[in-house]
Amino acid sequence: MDLGECTKIHDLALRADYEIASKERDLFFELDAMDHLESFIAECDRRTELAKKRLAETQEEISAEVSAKAEKVHELNEDIGKLLAKAEQLGAEGNVDESQKILMEVEKVRAKKKEAEEEYRNSMPASSFQQQKLRVCEVCSAYLGLHDNDRRLADHFGGKLHLGFIQIREKLDQLRKMVAEKQEKRNQDRLRRREEREREERMGRRSGSKNRDRRRSRSRDRRRRRSRSASREKRKSRSRSRERDRHRRHRSRSRSHSRGHRRGSRDRSSKHKKEVWTIRK
């Protein structure tokens, strides 16, 4: 599978800048990478299913028992190929002792494969056994033969195509886990902010209610003070009115007494004058 040259910019400095910036805030470029790898893997899986379907149509049908025995041979072939590829990698890295241990495990698996091939051969006619039984690699969708030799298996499982798809699938699993964790964190942050906003709104409503109650209480107090002040003014007005009435009555009595006194004085004076007049006569 050749996708051609990548159109993206591959710069270690930009990668370092991104890693630093992603610690401060989520840029969610992982979503784009995950979508791209998912489409890539989906295409590979689609081709794998088509290849399986094609093999099912072209290869001779065998019983379930024989198919299970053939599957066991294929699995052992995969184990041999993976071990040989790992041994070659360790040898290239200079780790000879570990490479030798892997080769010893390969010999054990080869012995198991030989036994599995004998069981498979005994369960089929000789003419059918000579036919190449193929299967599709679940990782990279390449064809594998039941009778492939060790070199062919090692080349496949240690090849760039197979190893590349392994890395892609592992990276996709990491991205899915990372994106799920970030989305969960983002949802929790959104929920926390919403709860804080609702709490602030409730506190605002309570504060507003308290302010309204306080304003109402102040209004009642002002009305009460006005009512008391009006009552006092009314009482003062009535008191002043009564005082004025008492004062008028007092002045009126004083005037009446004064007029009575002057009238009595005039009567006594007139009576005295009459007496004097009579005496003179």
pLDDT in tens, 52-74: 888 777 766 666 666 777 778 77
**Structure-token pair, residue 115:** 């036994």
Average pLDDT on 13-28 reads: 78
26: which residues sit within 8 A by CB, 6+ positions away? 182, 186
Domain spans in the chain, listed from the N-terminal domain onward? 12-59+164-200
**In the chain, how many H helices and how many E strands?**
7, 2
Q: Report the distance separating Cα 178 and Cα 257, nearest Å.
A: 115
The residue among 247 and 80 whose pLDDT is bigger is 80
pTM, 2 dp? 0.56
CA triple 25-37-86, angle to 5 deg: 110
Average pLDDT on 225-229 reads: 74
Query: Which pLDDT score, from 0 to 100, does residue 46 have?
Result: 92
Q: Report the distance separating Cα 51 and Cα 57, nearest Å.
A: 10
Under DSSP, the state recorded for 149 is -
Q: Which of 40, 9, 39 shows the shortest CA–CA distance to 161?
A: 40
Q: Is the pLDDT of residue 280 over 60?
A: no
Which ranges of 149-159 does DSSP label H, i.e. alpha helix?
150-157
Q: How many CB atoms lie within 10 A of CB 73?
A: 22
Query: Which pLDDT score, from 0 to 100, does residue 33 have?
Result: 86
Average pLDDT on 192-206 reads: 82
Query: Which pLDDT score, from 0 to 100, does residue 5 have?
Result: 75
113: which residues sit within 8 A by CB, 6+ positions away? 73, 76, 77, 80
